[in-house]
Chain A
Amino acid sequence: EHGPYQPHEPGCGLDQPAYSPYEDQIPDPQARMLAIKNAKAYLLKTSTVSGLNLYDHFANILTKILDEQPTNTVDIIEDISKDVKCAQFRKKMDTLRDEHLILPIFEAAEKCKALFVKEGGEEEHEELDEEMPSLPNVMETAFYFEQAGIGLNKDESYYILLSLKNLMNVQPIQTCRFWGKILGLEMNYIIAEVQLLEGEGEGGEEETGEEEETVAEEEMGEGEEEGEEKEKEAEPPKSTYKPPPEIPKEENGTGTNKNTYFVCNEPGKPWVKLPPVTPAQIVCARKIKKFFTGRLDAPIVSFPPFPGNEANYLRAQIARISAGTHVSPAGFYQFANEDDEEEEGDAYEENPEFEPPPVAEMVESLATWAHHVKGILKQGRCVWINPYQKSEEHEEEEDEEEEDKEEGEEHQEERRLPLLTLISEDEGMKNIPAWTAQASTNLIPQYSVAILQSNRWPGAYAFASGRKFDNIYFGWGHKYSPENHTPALPLPVQAEYPSGPGITETVDPTVEEEMAFKIAQEEALAAEEEEGEEEDLEDD
């Protein structure tokens, strides 16, 4: 509305600094210069805290902004200011920080580089014999699984392949396979399934088992002796607990211990061999559910107490997963002998006449797949064994009755489905089928791959395409349960004394009853004395 103020109007000049309405009386350049100098001196005043001054700071900021020309500068001006300030201080710390940061990355890179270095340069040409154990083609399986959307990074698969090759050079190995990867809290596990050349097993663990048994029974014997001596005094409570007999573990090369497993945390690190699994460990592993930390020597704190540390728990879970989810197209393997189908035969071989069914059929019906690993019984083994046959030598008279009771309960032989059963017979949980099958892609049916996902063990996958198939596991290592996990309740508190007339409370006898009892006793005594006198008389 109002045009620009004319110099003679009173409103003019109010918006300009240092120009009060009365300024036209003193257009003194000296005073203005002085004001400017004062302002500049103020800006140049060094801060006592940081040694900077505002003037230089603004100059730096404006230089930086004009150099970089970021977008939306007005929004990030405070950050720019902070950065300029921080930049002043970085000079001293630079060298220290650089050295610190470089270390972890370079270490890992060195390890990976070591994988690429070939070992034993001269002998390589001789290794092309047929005796060399076959390296699994990890990249090929990775490719097939990638069709399904499962798998590791290509770099990582390649590193795994190289470290498997290292493993084969070190250990006497017959066949080897990449089993999968189990995630842990601090570190992950990469697992290789291996069959060692015959004669390489270890048998050291059975002895300790027997020792434990004998020790326990000795303690029982001592307890009984003490009881007899101290009958008149208060008896120490006798332990009626008889630990269940130790179930011997399966031999290496059969059943749950058919394959040996090597683990490492990352490709490039040395492989560690996992100990063979005992049935007790499997039985306990079924009851607990724990995350893996990534360190093999970590203790497992749980109830019921797990016999072993994390290496044993890992091995037990691997055994369970293999038994539950390793499948192959039906007919790929057949029994070596026809008789073995009835018994629990272990031996199977490839069927040379196997004709792979088309992929569509493999996806539609689960009857085209079969397990090729034995299921684990409740006992914790693949082949049932009666644990009471050995312990007859150690029985004592008092224990016979109890033993008979226990034998009656456990004597039922446990049977699992025979070895090459079709997976359509796997039971689901509630209304969830045990397996989900799908083809990798619907768009290109001629090259698609049949993929099986296990619902009982989430993370277990199998693929099949023509004659090629494989199983793999990527996951946390736990079984799926639709209900929440309830830990085992602690055992009932043991009774201190078996209840009997000696310790049960009864009403104290009344005075009359006592008097009557006393009179009866005196009469009995009197009767005896008379008899004794008569006898003495006779003897004399």
Chain B
Amino acid sequence: ALGASLPLLQRDYRFERVWFWGCIQGLRGAYYIAEGLGPNLAAPRSRLYSLNCLDWSLLTPATKEILALAEQLNGRFQGDPSFEYNLAEINAEAAARLTEGGKEPVITEEARLIATIEQIDRAVGVIPRGAFVKTPLGSVHENRHFEGLSLLEAKKLSSYFHFTEPVNLKNKTLLEKADLDPSIDFLDSLEHDIPRGSWSIQLEKGGTVVVLRSLLWLGLTFYHVPMTKQFGYVYFGTGEKNLDLPFML
């Protein structure tokens, strides 16, 4: 069903690329998420969700308030997008603010879904170094010249980048910056993620595939076949952050 509905999405929304982002498992059903992009890869992405891989609904982009509120929600997703979480139990202040504003103090599951996907993408969306290129005008394009990482590079965490706005880039020393190539190295690498060791790198099938698994968001898997252009990441999980990570390492 995915194979049939994703190209249709691409046609309807005029995306340049559409891919299957992953699946968040709720208690009574699962949400299948797809992402679509226009020509500029750094622009905010449009996300769609579906309960049966056939009918897709567009999700509104995440706002800061929703992100802040959703971080306080714990527990599994229910599987029903109109399910409402009662804010009053969780955070009385936010509930009070909402009621003053004239809205009900609830968060729908859909909003929580939006916030979670945004968080996951921001925290653990990964691309290999060199796959995307930044033009002098500021827009990001796919690098047609990218031929894949070599085996040596593929084993190192520093050859993978977060695919979001860089946070640490300016904090590097001048020496490090001299080695960087500004058209390729415009994103944060995974090397300095806190806590250390929150990524698990494995080579499978004798080195033909590199698999990176995130331990912070359990269920995010990134794969790359070295020396080829194939890479991608997908999330299959419950949509909850693993806050016990420091205890588990």
Binding site for B on A (CB under 8 A): 70-72, 75-76, 79-80, 83, 101, 104-109, 112, 183-188, 288-291, 430, 432-433, 436, 438, 453, 455, 458, 476, 478, 482-485, 487
Contacts and interface: CB of A to CB of B under 8 A. Distances in A.
Contact of B215 (A76, A186, A291): A291
Interface in B66-81: 74-76
A107 B151 CA distance: 15
A290 B75 CA distance: 21
A426 to B, nearest CB: 14
B33 to A, nearest CB: 15
A108 B205 contact: yes
A109 B206 contact: yes
A487 B247 contact: yes
Interface stretch (B37-45, B113-121, B196-204): B196-204
Interface in B197-249: 197, 200, 202-203, 205-208, 213, 215, 218, 238, 243-244, 247-249
- Interface size of B as a range: 20 to 34
B144 interface: yes
Contacts of A430: 75
B59 interface: no
Nearest to B237: A458
Contacts of B203: 104
Contacts of B202: 186-188
A455 B248 contact: no
Chain B interface SS verdict (over half): loop
A436 B249 CA distance: 30
Contacts of A106: 206
B145 A289 contact: no
B135 interface: yes
Given A70-B144, A185-B200, A186-B200, A482 B207 contact: no
A478 to B, nearest CB: 8
Given A76-B144, A289-B244, A432 B27 contact: yes
Contacts of A187: 202
A433 B78 CA distance: 11
B145 A79 contact: yes
B247 A455 contact: no
Contact of B244 (A188, A432, A484): A484
A75 B247 contact: no
Interface in B48-70: none
Nearest to B207: A104
A487 B246 CA distance: 11
Contacts of B197: 185
Contacts of A184: 200
B28 interface: yes
A187 B202 CA distance: 7
Contact of B206 (A76, A105, A478): A105
A430 B74 CA distance: 11
A104 B206 contact: yes
A156 B163 CA distance: 31
B213 A183 contact: yes
B170 to A, nearest CB: 24
A75 B135 contact: yes
- Sort A-B residue pairs by CB-CB distance and give the 4 closest, nearest first: A108-B206, A485-B244, A104-B207, A105-B206
Contacts of B215: 185, 291
